[in-house]
């Protein structure tokens, strides 16, 4: 069974600052680590994902950094904007093969002040 | 096809009543998942279907819960004899079997048991 620990629980950042959210997992046999973004009243939406054969993936202002030996991956949001204010979840799969039975962290509530 | 559709968006029911939720996945997706999310927590896996076959059920899914996906299209989640502890957001997601990484979630059904 996969375990995922996410920190911090909440984060307040000024506009233009860098937001960093961390995630640690236990089971190493998997190939896919996504981050989801959730706004109030909406379902989570896939933001960015990484496979463990690379150490970093960047999409616009969002970057995932992956440390396989430490079993950790983190989300960096550069030039944070008030529209980024949302809850962010990391996740890891419970079985070999993607798209199957994700275990989610407890979430990080990000507030970006204008 | 604009995404995963869930109905109703909100449901208030009295304890002991039965409720049924519907999910219409993205039509090309052959995998369908149900998750439950309580306040301040990440989504928790309940069950998933590949086409019409229900391939796994979480131990969170007591015998009061039943899910179906007739003909591999839409899915229903029924809760019998609802309890206050069933109050949560019920999320449906869909994905391809292979070649894609990441779920598409619906906006969920918010269940309140009074």
Q: Say which CATH number the domain at A43 has.
A: 2.60.40.10
Residue owning tokens 């960047």:
A58
pLDDT at A111 over 90: yes
The pLDDT confidence band at residue A84, using thresholds 50, 70 and 90, is very high
Q: Residue A70, SS3?
A: coil
Report the residue from A43, A51, A89 with minimal CB separation from B106.
Answer: A43
User: What domain count does chain A have?
Assistant: 1
Q: DSSP characters for B58-104? A: -TTS-TTEEEE-GGGS-EEEEESS--GGG-EEEEEEEE-SSS----E
Domain range for A64: 4-113
Tell me the pLDDT tens digit for each residue of B102-112.
Answer: 789 999 999 99
Residue owning tokens 């911090």:
A8
Q: Do A107 and B104 touch (CB under 8 A)?
A: no
The pLDDT confidence band at residue A24, using thresholds 50, 70 and 90, is very high
- Provide mean pLDDT across the span A31-37: 88
Residue spans of chain B under pLDDT 70: 1, 97-101
> Which residues on B lie below 8 Å from A107 (Cβ)?
40-42
pLDDT at A1 over 70: no
* Residue pair B103/A50 in contact by the 8 Å Cβ criterion: no
* Residue pair A5/A89 in contact by the 8 Å Cβ criterion: no
């Amino acid at each position: 069974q996969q375990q995922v620990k996410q920190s911090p629980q909440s984060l307040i950042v000024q506009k233009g600052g860098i937001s960093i959210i961390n995630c640690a997992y236990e089971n190493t046999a998997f190939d896919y680590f996504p981050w989801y973004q959730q706004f109030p009243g909406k379902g989570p939406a896939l933001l960015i994902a990484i496979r463990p054969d690379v150490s970093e993936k960047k999409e616009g202002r969002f970057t995932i950094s992956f440390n396989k030996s430490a079993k950790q991956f983190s989300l960096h949001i550069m030039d944070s904007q008030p529209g980024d204010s949302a809850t962010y979840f990391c996740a890891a799969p419970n079985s070999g093969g993607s798209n199957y039975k994700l275990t989610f962290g407890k979430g990080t509530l990000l507030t970006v002040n204008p | 096809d604009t995404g995963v559709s869930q109905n109703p968006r909100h449901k208030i029911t009295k304890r002991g009543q039965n409720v049924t939720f519907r999910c219409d996945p993205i039509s090309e997706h052959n995998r369908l998942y149900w998750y439950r999310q309580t306040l301040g927590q990440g989504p928790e896996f309940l069950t998933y279907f590949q086409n019409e076959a229900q391939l796994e059920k979480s131990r969170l899914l007591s015998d009061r819960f039943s899910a179906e996906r007739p003909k591999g299209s839409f899915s229903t989640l029924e809760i019998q004899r609802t309890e206050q502890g069933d109050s949560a957001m019920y999320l449906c997601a869909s994905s391809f079997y292979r070649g894609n990484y990441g779920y598409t979630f619906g906006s969920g059904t918010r269940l309140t048991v009074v």
